[in-house]
Amino acid sequence: MGSFKSSVFILVLHLLEGALSNSLIQLNNNGYEGIVIAIDPNVPEDETLIQQIKDMVTQASPYLFEATEKRFYFKNVTILIPEKWKTKPEYERPKLETYKNADVLVAEPNPPGNDEPYTEQIGNCGEKGERIYFTPDFIAGKKLRQYGPQERVFVHEWAHLRWGVFNEYNNDQKFYLSNGKREAVRCSATITGKNVVNVCQGGSCVTRRCKIDKVTGLYEKGCEFIPADRQMEKASIMFSQSIDSVVTFCTEKNHNKEAPNQQNQKCNLRSTWEVIRNSEDFKTTTPMTTQPPKPTFSLLQITQRIVCLVLDKSGSMTIGDRLKRLNQASKLFLLQTVEQGSWVGMVTFDSVAHVQSELILINSGTERNALTKRLPTAAAGGTSICSGLRSAFTVIRKKYPTDGAEIVLLTDGEDNTISACFNEVKQSGAIIHTVALGPSAAKELEELSKMTGGLQTYASDQAQNNGLIDAFGALSSGNGAVSQRSIQLESKGLTLQNRQWMNGTVMVDSTVGNDTLFLITWTVQPPQILLWDPSGKLQNGFLVDTHAKMAYLQIPGTAKVGVWNYSLQASSQTLTLTVTSRASSVTLPPVTVTSKMNKDTGKFPSPMVVYAKIHQGSLPILRASVTALIESVSGNTVTLELLDNGAGADATKDDGIYSRYFTAYDTNGRYSVKVRALGGVCTARRRAVPQQNGARYILGWIENGEVKWNPPRPEVNEDGLQGKKVCFSRTASGGSFVASNVPKAPIPDLFPPCQITDLKAKIQGESLINLTWTAPGDDYDHGRAYKYIIGISTNILDLRDKFNESVQVNTTDLIPKEASAKEVFVFKPESITFENGTDLFIAVQAVDKVNLMSEISNIARVSLFIPPQTPPETPSPSSLPCPDINVNSTIPGIHILKLMWKWLGELQLSVALG
């Protein structure tokens, strides 16, 4: 996806097991500190892995230092060690470091044998990535021949993670035409090598030069560019860091702007060094004059989860059943969300704090029930948040240090003394999750979450939105195995009148079913509750708590897979239904939803982008129905359909990340976010596909002039992309954000159409060009744009830098469609020379009704190639061939012309007989 102006503000809702990233990295005097490398709980214990991680980072640091012109090095790294590994005296307790905020995860390959290193990038050019993924075998150096030295790969991935640059190779299109000449996709273009194909038959293989495809003008299928062993060129790390001579990034001087790769596609033809130079890291540093010190390492071992609830019971909690809702949400957390083996305590506060329970070890339902009985039943008094926090620290310290402990703070009131304990909070090393209830909760709450890496959530007084229960349901451990985490399958609410029914279904899929809980709440009196399992059997045994106005049923064993039906009947009150479960198996990864926001404040008119990533283990789920519900403090809820179409806010099509811009601000203040994801008959789990943002797989290398081949990279054929069909339902709290600078209604239109990022071009007929793209909207990717401007040029940089001076195509008959629809436009290039060997570049700009313009689209390209004709005989005039021209599709925006010939008549020859 192309670059966006720096004003663009991103909110990420990231639905992925274990990917709630809130990096602790800081740049201090040229050195990166606070890097967290986590060893996944499922990795078998192997102490040598710790030393191998240290070696990789230690050797990567001077390589990074030289590659960045003596600007950056690795200063301090924390290694997170799984709880089940043997303890050692040198292993310390984590503070704010968790699996959720790890920058690098070392995990077993999924599927087995796929050891490809990669970086998860869901944003635009120049935006930080989410996380780097390595496997134990890669760290151990067992994949040296496939990817090169680990330390060099780490620097390649670090550039993805920290500076938001992209790869300069292309596995989908290895070659391209430039002015009729065949070029390998590489950077810089002066890297030398051989264009060869490895032909295997009957167990023996022969390496030969690539033949030219006489139709496309490119090399034959299977042709590979193998770099020479001796190179002079030093760039680029984002093409192939495994080449010995490569020690720098491509700059504007040696960057290959024509190569059809992700860096050009997403970064508007800019070099990787230009993007790095534009980063905050670069702007706030100067080159060092001395060599950097070696990295230092901290070894931290995950320990038992320690949580203390800090609950507001001040007088304002009597408003609108807030105290009842606190009880309902807290009971869900205590009965279901918090994991076995956790220590849990409870403090309540008004103008002073009250210890309701010291830390209790959760071993069974007995401890869970005992804690629920300590929840507050009456509300009165003022609000002293610091008193509650200090009391929680005391409760925790009676058994453990506060380092790494979690506090769940819920309040609905204002407290102008809250900043008085900020320093104590920072010193404690505890993680504080905040739940703001209602419109008047203390404005400083978010500061507590931000400074400690906790989750921040907001719940309105609209009970039917179930916001408070969703907030508490999101508080599963950041460090436990995914099989132990509570997963929310459903969260729904409705206000009923005159004995109306609330009917619906819940899908329990095969990846979940253990520890399944159905929870129903009401506002006046108990409703009639009917629940049937997939076999049609009516379920009995709901436990009713009339005081807390809730009823719940825990399904014994593993819940039956299939559709569960419910019917709830009531009059003149609001009902909610929440269903949670856990993984059905330790070995089968569940379809997971874990929320994340990478920005928590938005200033109008900057848009926000909502992303939702849906995975089973590391496999993305495709074609799900995904919606985000965004509720403002005024009570208005906006529903957004999130799309995985590679257009608008969505960076990559079919990667399991569903995205959409949010522009529908209606007031200043807090907004809560909730995501619903449904998988039906069309939904599928994608089989393993090569990751897009990772180091280049070395297909072969040259030794003494001879090509040595690695095993071929595992191929994924298009027909085999879809794995097993999956039907599921999930909901998740996406936390909250705070909007500012929103004007009073009517809110002016300051949102332009979004950039078109998937423009493709091909030749149609003899002289026409066919363009396709996804329609942007009037406001980013919502509504309908007013018109399009299409520019063409034979110079790619002129088109980028002087778009307004390019040849304009007549678009009078081109009426924009609704956002996300597929646009098709065919035109004949005029006022420009288009002949054999010509490369023609095309870009599109969208304009809305108030003349706000999008950024220029990605640049698409057609290359005219007419192969030389060598007919065996000259046909008669009546049988001249008629060319039918089409294009061999390649990557977005780059296509190669292909010429086919159809004979109009039969060739007639006179033959003289004997």
d(C-alpha 573, C-alpha 576), whole Å: 10
d(C-alpha 662, C-alpha 249), whole Å: 35
Q: Which two tokens stand for residue 45?
A: 């214990």
Angle between helices 48-67 and 150-163 (to 10 degrees): 70
Q: Where are the alpha helices (DSSP H) in 74-180?
A: 136-139, 144-147, 150-163
d(C-alpha 298, C-alpha 50), whole Å: 11
Beta carbons of 257 and 269 less than 8 angstroms apart: yes
Q: Which two tokens stand for residue 184?
A: 């390998």
Residues 25, 27, 33, CA angle at the centre, nearest 5°? 50
Q: In degrees rounded to 5, what are phi and psi of residue 39? A: -95, 120
User: If you search the block for the tokens 């022969």, which residue do you land on?
Assistant: 206
Q: Where are the alpha helices (DSSP H) in 11-47?
A: none
User: If you search the block for the tokens 């000259």, which residue do you land on?
Assistant: 874
d(C-alpha 443, C-alpha 433), whole Å: 15
**605 prior amide bond cis, ω within 30:** yes
- Quick one: how far is CA 744 from the chain centroid? 33
Q: Which two tokens stand for residue 872?
A: 């065996």
Quote the DSSP letter at residue 337.
Answer: I
Nearest to 282 by CA among 2, 27, 24, 4: 27
* Residue 116 annotated among the catalytic residues of the structure: no
DSSP track, 672-683: EEEEEEEE-TT-
**Residue 202 CA neighbour count, 13 Å, CB half:** 0
Under DSSP, is residue 60 helix (H, G, I), strand (E, B) or coil?
Answer: helix
Q: How many CB atoms lie within 10 A of CB 103?
A: 25
User: If you search the block for the tokens 């004997």, which residue do you land on?
Assistant: 914
* 151, 157, 168, 233: the active-site residue: 157
d(C-alpha 789, C-alpha 844), whole Å: 6
Nearest to 724 by CA among 782, 679, 773: 679
Rg (CA), the chain: 30
Which residues touch 253 (CB under 8 Å, ≥6 apart)?
A: none
Tell me which H or E stretch contains 264: helix 262-266
d(C-alpha 457, C-alpha 449), whole Å: 9
Q: Is the dihedral of CA 628, 632, 634, 640 positive or negative?
A: negative
In 878-890, which positions are buried (b, 16+ CB within 10 angstroms) versus exposed (e)? eeeeeeebbbbeb
d(C-alpha 489, C-alpha 504), whole Å: 13
- Dihedral angle computed from the Cα positions of residues 438, 440, 441 and 443, in that order, rounded to the nearest 10 degrees: 130
549: left (phi over 0), alpha (psi -120 to 50) or beta: left
Catalytic residues: 157
